[in-house]
Amino acid sequence: MTDRYAVLGHPIGHSKSPLIHSLFARATGQDIAYTAIETPLDGFDDTVRAFRAGGGRGLNVSLPFKLQAFEIATDPSERARLAGAANCLKFEGGDRIHADNFDGVGLVNDLQRNLACPLAGKRVLLLGAGGATRGALLPIAAERPALLAVANRTADKAHALKRDFAAHTALQTGGYGELSGQAFDVVINATSTGLSQDALPLPAGLFAPGALAYEMVYGKGLTPFLKQAQAAGVARVADGVGMLVEQAAEAFHWWRGVRPDTRPVVDQLTVPLV
């Protein structure tokens, strides 16, 4: 019997998730059907209920519903609780909704496996203090970087993360201007500027020699952040396509108990950054 999965979002027509999961299923011999469901902004709960009532086994959740996905969960993971958001749901029994957030794990796996950028002992900077950063902090901290910093336009929002995660990791937090005089080995843009095409007010000297500049947005070519990095002399730049594939692999493993090989799928979806 074919098991049903889907991704919910608004909009969702651009999603690569159906392709990714179909490739995973083919490679691992799993009998699943995976679709994308355009979800009304006021219809998330109803869509989830209808999907589950129709025999659905699990859901990926895209923007703007990750907060709502966390709120409906009966059994959220610690990662989801700290992020305050979930990007994956699994249905078990009559009324249990398990939730997890695999974005941060996907990011770390992409950095270390696909981009050969180990985080241990590195100075790592996350730009932005929203949900994407919240989901990334614990997985990055687990790799024991020498420094983990968060900078945001509004410094108070970054400082709030320092308080929220105090029991789990030490963070350096502040506004962009407070980065002056510091250099980082890995700089990750977790803001939405890759979609808006706005540039960030980054100080000179932010990128250490040999640094990697990573844009979480994927498929947008050279975003303003990546252009800033290249203008600063950074040779290693990447977008978030590998993160997308790696978080999908975590969801697939969670649902099916089988871990797919991500390298062929990353290679197939990667496009030159120009």
Burial of 207 (C-beta count, 10 Å sphere; 0-12/13-18/19+):
buried
What is the SS3 assignment for 166? coil
**Measured between alpha carbons, how far is 222 from 81 in angstroms, rounded to an integer?**
33
What is the DSSP code (8-state) at residue 86? -
CA gap 21, 30 in Å, rounded: 10
Q: Which of 16, 66, 90, 122 is catalytic?
A: 66
Determine contact, residues 102/123, Cβ cutoff 8 Å: no
90 is catalytic: no
d(CA 131, CA 134): 5
Rounded-to-integer distance, Cα 269 and Cα 18, Å: 13
Contact 104, 140 (CB under 8 A): yes
Q: How far apart are CA 274 and CA 270, in angstroms?
A: 12
Catalytic positions, written as ranges: 66
